[in-house]
């Protein structure tokens, strides 16, 4: 098949003066009032909210804690983990207070709304089950907390307006931390009644060659006797093509526009065009929108696999949950950009939104930075995984939820595949097959240009029932032992690793003896960063590497997960304290674990990788066996301990681990220097790395990850904090308690150390180091200038850094 394509109490009354332009988009960010109470009358316009907390949106009320094992404590058997008996689970949804009711209220004025205009109120999602009121009148509700939705509020507007939103989060409604609140943006759109419909434009590129591209623009409108002129601009804003039409097919314009010598979108070259759509009536401009898009082709073909722009390639992907670690589920563009920047360095070229609909900001960044995207929709269909999950709404809501997903996001070139579900219990039996077809048909109807997959974990059953055979793309979650059989039985001619590995580790923590282990637990509730521990249903990264490298019909993988996330602390689901995952290639603070370099050594083909582990601070282990691993893009390296060679190791095919890792299993620990020298294929030394045994912590080091900050009140600086000894050697086992102070044109936002067992609150200005490091988040104000961050700790020389913010 081929597819082209906290608290300060103030009263804020926002006044929005409408200009003469044809359309105005107003962000409702500041001046919201919030209360985590169930107040039945809070929707009324005259309700007294003066004592409520003032917040900005996006907002996640639960991320401020506290962590509490009693929050959403569940006694369940997690079927996806192969559990047969129910046990107490305390950190499954992050142990944060997301359950219950929340109210948001905002006052605003809209000046001069004309009789010929309409006003839409749009939400990029709300967690969850929002009921929306304007001036005391209910204008609508929505159930799915991850979906985009909007209401026409024209008929309920007054001179002074009050918007009220009631949210209800049920316990046992998720398998991870879902967040709580208006955690994505809210907007008003003021436009003419005769105008381009909301999400009414669909841009595709059905024909692409080196010399020419056919750009098809379908535009749904409301009105009669209209003319649409569409102009295409290149990345520099120069016009490259234009087309005008007055021909309506029902309520849709259909334009084909020729672009000469097109620049094609790809992860390596994420070139974006802009379509400017101007709608006229009697030569008067009545609406105008700008839509970014990319020119590219995609194909999925038997025995060939996946192609982008005619070139076969394999997905080097990761799965991502929607929380952003210490700031929770509240969307922040700079935090998302940082995630993608880290993944880009690792060599990642694709993202899977797991297991829900992505934020629009994430998609925009993937378009811009060059990541292909597998956009997922649901974690449940009609059959339940959790007591109060999406199955409650499936029959009534699934079609409208899918339509909104597709219409809101289909112009993003990064999206190369849809997923209608993840590990749904409906994989069993005829009813599941029917549901899979029903959802796939909706995707095909609304977007014929992209295929549909489902992440299947019951692969044997889907081979028997026909479930896997009907999918455009058969997605296997784990089950590496069934890849061959699935390839033989499924008709598509290829297999996607829709979820892979689920290897677990804690950054900078190493356990002995070093051995492969499934669901291994330790007294400190950590996992070994030798990267040889995995889950009962999963496997090590190397097992997937073999499939990717040796089977041309395996079209790539999406690793579980790119970053740790709040909730689902396997293998410690039934242990406390443990409140976040261990699956991440990067920890919850965004700091790379050793596994980062294992993937980087394969996926980043532009830069060499040479990484040595473990750290070399093992007081009390003198003379004991302490294996040393090297993750590298080079084929051979030599290890030295205090100048003595431990021998040269070369990658080989004896075992999956020997193929991708260089391992010295018999090294005896002695304090000093550990050095590795890499050799090219001709035996020449080309790079080396060394680590040293450190003394006592002496000085705090601060490193800014980003050089330029925007003074917009939202941008975040991520500052890595570590400690070194008197000689400057990193103290990789340090756990000092540190304090943070911010002055100047910025504020302290949060800190995170990546420790899944830590109960310290992110928003308080103190935290312990974990494995010698943590990250401090500093937020800009709306005034440009210097921001000073000082970090101190008992007995340590203080660290300080000056950050600079500029007017955006």
DSSP annotation string for 312-369: E--EEEEEE-S--GGGTTS--HHHHHHHHHHHHHHT--EEEE-SSPPPHHHHHHHHHH
Query: What is the 3-class SS of 726-792, one letter each residue?
Result: CCCCECCCCCCEEEEEEEECEEEEEEECCCCCCCCCCCCCEEECECCEEEEEEEECCCCEEEEEEEE
In a domain, 661, yes or no: no
Query: How many domains are there within the chain?
Result: 4
Average pLDDT over residues 323-329: 98
Which sign, positive or negative, has the C-alpha torsion 382, 383, 387, 389? negative
Strand 372-376 to 350-353 pairing: parallel
Task: Mark whether 442 and 553 lie in a shared domain.
Answer: yes
User: In the predicted model, is pLDDT for residue 395 greater than 80?
Assistant: yes
Q: Which DSSP symbol is given to 705?
A: S
Chosen domain end from 293, 328, 350:
293
Of the three residues 244, 264, 293, the one that is the final residue of a domain is 293
* Residue 499 annotated in active site: yes
Asked whether the predicted pLDDT for residue 628 surpasses 50, the reply is: yes
Give the separation between CA 335 and CA 590, rounded to whole angstroms: 10
Q: Assign residue 228 the CATH number of its domain.
A: 2.60.40.10
Report CA dihedral (775, 778, 784, 790) to the nearest 10 degrees. Answer: -80
Q: What is the pLDDT of residue 787?
A: 98
Question: How far is 147 from 357, CA to CA, in rounded Å?
Answer: 6
Domain-located, residue 476: yes
Indicate whether 103 and 81 sit together in one domain: yes
pLDDT at 336 over 80: yes
Residue 81's pLDDT is what? Answer: 78
Task: Please report whether residue 287 resides in a domain.
Answer: yes
Q: pLDDT of 479-512, one tens digit each?
A: 999 999 999 999 999 999 999 999 999 999 999 9
How confident is the model over 672-684, as a mean pLDDT?
A: 96
In a domain? residue 571:
no
Q: What is the pLDDT of residues 271-282, one digit of tens each?
A: 999 999 999 999
Give residue-wise pLDDT tens across range 548-573: 999 999 999 999 999 999 999 999 99
CA pair distance 557, 478, nearest whole angstrom: 10
Exposed (0-12), middle (13-18) or buried (19+): which is 621, by Cβ within 10 Å? Answer: middle
Q: Kindly state whether residue 299 falls inside one of the protein's structural domains.
A: no
Residue 11 has pLDDT above 70, yes or no: no
Q: What is the mean pLDDT of the chain?
A: 96
Report residue 325's pLDDT band, with 50, 70 and 90 as the boundaries. very high
Q: What is the mean pLDDT of residues 404-413?
A: 98
**637 and 677 Cβ atoms separated by less than 8 Å:** yes
Confidence of residue 693 (pLDDT cuts 50, 70, 90): very high
Residues 19 and 165 placed together within one structural domain of the fold: yes
Task: Quote the DSSP letter at residue 486.
Answer: H
Q: What's the burial of 101, exposed, middle or buried (CB within 10 Å: 0-12/13-18/19+)? A: middle
For residues 377 and 258, membership in a common domain is answered with: no
Query: Shortest CA distance to 212 belongs to which of 295, 290, 272?
Result: 295
**Positive or negative, the Cα torsion across 380, 381, 384, 388?**
positive
pLDDT tens digits, residue range 279-316?
A: 999 999 999 999 999 999 999 999 899 999 999 999 99
Give mean pLDDT, residues 26-53.
Answer: 97
The answer on pLDDT for 16 being more than 80 is no
Name the H helices within 370-521. 394-409, 429-446, 459-465, 467-470, 483-489
307-312: Cβ within 8 A, 24+ apart: 308/266, 308/372, 308/416, 309/208, 309/264, 309/266
- The 8 Å CB, 24+ separation contacts for 511-516 are 512/624, 512/625, 512/626, 513/625, 514/627, 514/665, 516/540
End-to-end, the C-alpha distance of the chain in Å comes to 45
Q: Do the beta carbons of residue 364 and residue 372 sit within 8 Å?
A: no
Strand 311-312, strand 305-308: pairing: antiparallel
pLDDT at 405: 98
- Closest Cα partner for 375 from 148, 206, 529, 645? 148
Residue 8 pLDDT grade (very low, low, confident, very high; cuts 50, 70, 90): very low
Q: Are residues 317 and 252 in the same domain?
A: no
* Residue 431 placed within a domain: yes
Q: Are residues 390 and 432 in the same domain?
A: yes
Confidence band for 51, pLDDT divided at 50, 70 and 90: very high
Within a 10 A sphere around the Cβ of 649, how many other Cβ atoms?
21
Same domain, 154 and 210: no
Domain span at residue 334 reads 312-502+537-565
244/371 same-domain check: no
Q: Which of 171-175, 185-189, 425-429 has the lowest mean pLDDT?
A: 425-429
7 pLDDT more than 90: no
Using a pLDDT cut of 90, give the percent of the chain over it: 94
b/e burial code for range 343-359 (CB count within 10 A of at least 16 → b): beebbbbbbbbbbbbbb
Alpha carbon distance 561, 168 (integer Å):
29
Q: Which residues contact 622 (CB under 8 A, 6 or more apart)?
A: 669, 670, 671
- Cβ atoms of 190 and 244 closer than 8 Å: no
Q: Which of 145, 163, 192 is where one domain is finished? A: 192
Backbone angles phi, psi at 139, to 5 degrees: -105, -10
How large is the angle between the packed helices 333-346 and 594-603, nearest 10 degrees?
60
The predicted structure's pLDDT at residue 78: 84
Burial 438-472 (b: 16+ CB within 10 A, else e): ebbebbeebbebbbbbbbbbbbeebbebebbebbb
Is 623 buried (19+), middle (13-18) or exposed (0-12) by CB count in 10 A? exposed
Contact 277, 288 (CB under 8 A): yes
Mark whether 152 and 200 lie in a shared domain. Answer: no
**Are the C-beta atoms of residues 87 and 77 closer than 8 Å to each other?**
yes
Q: Which one of the listed residues 376, 423, 568, 714 is annotated catalytic?
A: 423
Domain CATH number, residue 349 = 3.20.20.80
| Residue 426 phi, psi dihedral angles, 5° rounding | -65, 0
Residues 6+ apart with CB under 8 A from 111: 15, 16, 17, 18
**CATH number of 18's domain:** 2.60.120.260
Q: DSSP readout, 626-652?
A: --EEEEESSSEEEEEETTEEEEEEE--
H/E stretch holding 227 reads strand 226-233
The whole-angstrom separation of Cα 266 and Cα 664 is 39
Residue 484 CB-half CA count within 13 A: 3
* Residue 673: other Cβ atoms inside 10 A: 14
Report whether 165 contacts 103 (CB < 8 A): yes
**Three-state DSSP state, 478:** coil
Same domain, 206 and 335: no
| Phi, psi torsion values for 451, nearest 5 degrees | -85, 170
Whether 2 shows a pLDDT value over 60: the answer reads no
**10 pLDDT above the threshold of 50:** no
Query: Using CA atoms, how far apart are residues 696 and 597, in angstroms rounded to an integer?
Result: 27
Beta bridge partners of 374: 352, 417
Q: Checking DSSP bridges between strand 117-123 and strand 186-192, what pairing results, if any?
A: antiparallel
* DSSP 3-state of 459: helix
**Does 11 share its domain with 135?**
yes
Maximum CA extent, the chain:
88
162 and 210 in a common domain: no
Q: What is the DSSP string of 253-293?
A: EEEEEEEESPPBB-SSSB--EEEEEEEEETTEEEEEEEEEE
| Selected catalytic residue, list 172, 499, 557, 670 | 499
Mean pLDDT, residues 114-142 taken together: 97
Q: What are phi and psi of 584, to 5 degrees?
A: -65, 145
Let me know if residue 520 belongs to a domain: no
Q: Is the pTM above the cut of 0.85?
A: yes
Burial 700-721 (b: 16+ CB within 10 A, else e): bbbebeeeebbbbbbbbbbbbb
Q: Is the pLDDT of residue 335 over 50?
A: yes
pLDDT value at residue 85? 87
DSSP-derived secondary structure letter, 452: E
């Amino acid at each position: 098949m081929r597819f082209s394509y906290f608290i300060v109490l103030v009263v804020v009354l926002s006044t929005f003066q409408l200009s003469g332009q044809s359309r105005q988009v107003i962000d409702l960010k500041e001046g919201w009032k919030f209360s985590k109470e169930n107040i039945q009358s809070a929707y009324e316009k005259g309700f007294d909210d003066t004592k409520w907390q003032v917040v900005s949106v996006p907002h996640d009320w639960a991320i401020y804690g506290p962590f509490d094992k009693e929050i959403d404590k569940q006694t369940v058997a997690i079927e996806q983990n192969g559990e047969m008996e129910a046990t107490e689970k305390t950190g499954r949804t992050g142990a944060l207070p997301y359950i219950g009711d929340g109210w948001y209220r905002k006052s605003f004025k809209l000046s001069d709304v004309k009789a010929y205009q309409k006003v839409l109120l749009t939400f990029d999602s709300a967690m969850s089950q929002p009921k929306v009121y304007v001036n005391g009148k209910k204008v609508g509700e929505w159930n799915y907390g991850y979906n985009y939705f909007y209401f026409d509020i024209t008929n309920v507007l007054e001179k002074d307006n009050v918007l009220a939103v009631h949210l209800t989060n049920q316990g046992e409604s998720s398998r991870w931390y879902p967040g709580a609140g208006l955690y994505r943006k809210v907007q008003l759109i003021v436009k003419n009644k005769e105008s381009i419909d909301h999400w009414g434009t669909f841009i595709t590129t059905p024909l692409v060659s080196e010399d020419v591209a056919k750009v098809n623009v379908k535009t749904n409108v409301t009105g009669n006797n209209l003319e649409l002129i569409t102009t295409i601009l290149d990345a520099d804003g120069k016009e490259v093509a234009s087309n005008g039409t007055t021909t309506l097919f029902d309520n849709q314009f259909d334009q084909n526009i020729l672009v000469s010598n097109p620049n094609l979108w790809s992860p390596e070259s994420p070139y974006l065009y802009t379509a400017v759509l101007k709608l006229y009536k009697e030569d008067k401009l009545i609406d105008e929108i700008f839509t970014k898009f990319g020119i590219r082709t995609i194909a999925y073909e038997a025995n060939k696999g996946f192609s982008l722009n005619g070139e076969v390639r394999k997905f080097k992907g990761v799965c991502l949950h929607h929380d952003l670690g210490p700031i929770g589920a509240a969307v922040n563009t700079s935090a998302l950009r940082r995630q993608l920047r880290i993944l880009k360095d690792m060599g990642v070229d694709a993202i899977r939104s797991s297991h829900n609909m992505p934020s629009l900001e994430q998609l925009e960044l993937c378009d811009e930075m060059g990541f292909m995207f597998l956009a997922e929709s649901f974690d449940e269909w009609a059959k339940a995984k959790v007591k109060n999950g999406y199955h409650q709404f499936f029959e009534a809501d699934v079609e409208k939820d899918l339509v909104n997903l597709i219409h809101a996001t289909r112009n993003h070139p990064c999206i190369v595949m849809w997923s209608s579900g993840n590990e749904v219990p409906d994989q069993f039996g005829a009813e599941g097959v029917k549901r899979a077809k029903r959802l796939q048909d909706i995707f095909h109807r609304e977007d014929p240009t992209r295929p549909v997959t489902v992440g299947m974990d019951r692969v044997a059953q889907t081979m028997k029932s026909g479930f896997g055979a009907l999918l455009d793309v058969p997605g296997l979650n784990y089950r590496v032992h069934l890849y061959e059989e699935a390839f033989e039985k499924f008709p598509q001619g290829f297999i996607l690793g829709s979820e892979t590995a689920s290897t677990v580790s804690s950054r900078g923590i190493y356990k002995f003896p070093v051995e492969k282990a499934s669901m291994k637990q330790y007294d400190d509730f950590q996992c070994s960063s030798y990267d040889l521990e995995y889950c009962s249903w999963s496997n090590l990264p190397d097992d997937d590497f073999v499939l990717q490298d040796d089977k041309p019909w395996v079209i790539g993988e999406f690793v579980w997960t790119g970053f740790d996330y709040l909730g689902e602390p396997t293998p410690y689901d039934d242990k406390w304290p443990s409140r976040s995952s261990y699956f991440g290639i990067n920890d919850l603070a965004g700091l790379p674990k050793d596994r980062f370099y294992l993937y980087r050594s394969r996926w980043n083909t532009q830069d060499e990788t040479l990484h040595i582990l473990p750290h070399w601070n093992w007081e009390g282990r003198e003379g004991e066996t302490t294996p040393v691993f090297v993750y590298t893009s080079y084929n051979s390296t030599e290890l030295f301990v205090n100048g003595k060679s431990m021998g040269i190791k070369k990658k080989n095919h004896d075992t999956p681990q020997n193929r991708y890792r260089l391992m010295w299993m018999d090294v005896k620990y002695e304090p000093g220097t550990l050095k590795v020298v890499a050799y090219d294929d001709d035996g020449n030394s080309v790079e080396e790395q060394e680590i040293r045994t450190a003394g006592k912590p002496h000085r705090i080091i601060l490193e800014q990850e980003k050089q330029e900050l925007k003074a917009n009140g939202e941008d975040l600086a991520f500052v890595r904090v570590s400690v070194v000894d008197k000689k400057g050697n990193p103290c990789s086992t340090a756990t000092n308690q540190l304090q943070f102070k911010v002055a100047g044109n910025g504020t302290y936002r949060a800190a995170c150390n990546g420790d899944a067992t830590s109960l310290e609150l992110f928003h308080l200005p103190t935290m312990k180091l974990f494995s010698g490091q943590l990250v401090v988040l500093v937020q800009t104000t709306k005034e440009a200038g210097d921001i000073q961050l000082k970090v101190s700790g008992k007995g340590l020389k203080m660290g300080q850094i000056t950050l600079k913010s500029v007017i955006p």
